[in-house]
Amino acid sequence: MPSPVDTPSADIAMRPRFLGAPGKRVFTQQFLPPGAVRGHIVYLPPFAEEMNRCRAIVATQARAFAARGFACTLLDFYGTGDSDGVLEDASLQRWHDDIHTTIETLRSESGAPLLLWGLRLGALIALDFAARGRQAVSGIILWQPVTSAALFVNQMLRQRIAMLSMRGLPAEKTADIRERLAQGEDVEIAGYRVSGKLLAELEAIDLTRMRGLCSGRIHWIEHVLERGREPGPATRKAIAELEALDNTIDQHTFTGAQIWQVANREPADELLAVSSGLSL
């Protein structure tokens, strides 16, 4: 029997478009179902190179959601992908505005329920957007969410330190980089120039204040090395914190490639099958 991701997609229409005012436009790629729209799913991408590594798998999943009747919209945040601007000028608030603009456009076209779908840092931003209450959210899908923005930023800074070492350039410490960022200087991390403002805003995201994020369920999908194994302690702690704040979380696991880490496309059949089988 075919899996949900084997559903023929010839009748899934694709609609690329820019939303918003000139200079602040957000690029979106929408996958439209063949029949009535039963819901909108808005996808929030991961950061930097992780976004590029995951594009093909994300598009495959978007088609699968569309085959189930969901209009699935993938967006590029300001300063990334095909959207306007440069990353140095990006901020978390501007990215929230991108999400808001996208949702407002979709809701002007259809009053169907809204779900957010985020991957890695995009998953954490989805939770943060829902916590601010600018839009009513009926459900949230999380692919391997970042659970600590502070740890994520520290990992990025260490990538810069490793890059300098590999290139034989003068060494820097994490404190040195943070000082430069605090002084308003942009720094290059993994080939991308980022501002201290963006990193500080990301670090301020706090899971412990995210009460009642959606009217339905949060689907947390986490990679494990072996079937039947539980996610790690950081994930278990984050889920417990969110559940203590009146959030209903369904936890799912998958094995296989960690698609955000590999440069070449790897099969992600189990991730796709789990996601396509969710009760949305």
Domain of 81: which CATH number?
Answer: 3.40.50.1820
Distance of alpha carbon 10 from alpha carbon 25, whole angstroms: 29
User: Sign (positive/negative) of CA torsion 155, 182, 118, 16?
Assistant: negative
In a domain, 180, yes or no: no
In a domain, 40, yes or no: yes
In a domain, 28, yes or no: yes
In a domain, 132, yes or no: yes
Q: Which residue shows structure tokens 């189930």?
A: 68
CA-based nearest residue to 271, from 2, 5, 1, 40 = 5
Q: What is the pLDDT averaged over residues 61-88?
A: 96
Q: Which residue shows structure tokens 């949305």?
A: 280
CA angle 24, 26, 30 (to 5 degrees): 160
Distance of alpha carbon 167 from alpha carbon 153, whole angstroms: 22
In a domain, 36, yes or no: yes
Domain that holds residue 272: 4-147+207-276
In a domain, 198, yes or no: no
In a domain, 194, yes or no: no
**DSSP 8-state class, residue 88:** G
What's the pLDDT at 159?
A: 81
174 confidence band (pLDDT: 50, 70, 90): confident
Query: Hey, which of 107-111, 156-160, 174-178 has the most confident mean pLDDT?
Result: 107-111
What's the pLDDT at 75?
A: 97
Q: In the predicted model, is pLDDT for residue 2 greater than 70?
A: no
Q: Which residue shows structure tokens 């704040």?
A: 245
Q: What is the pLDDT averaged over residues 153-163?
A: 83
Number of domains in the chain: 1
Distance of alpha carbon 72 from alpha carbon 42, whole angstroms: 6
In a domain, 160, yes or no: no
Cβ within 8 Å of residue 175, ≥6 positions away = none
Q: In the predicted model, is pLDDT for residue 3 greater than 70?
A: no
What's the pLDDT at 37?
A: 95
What's the pLDDT at 255?
A: 96
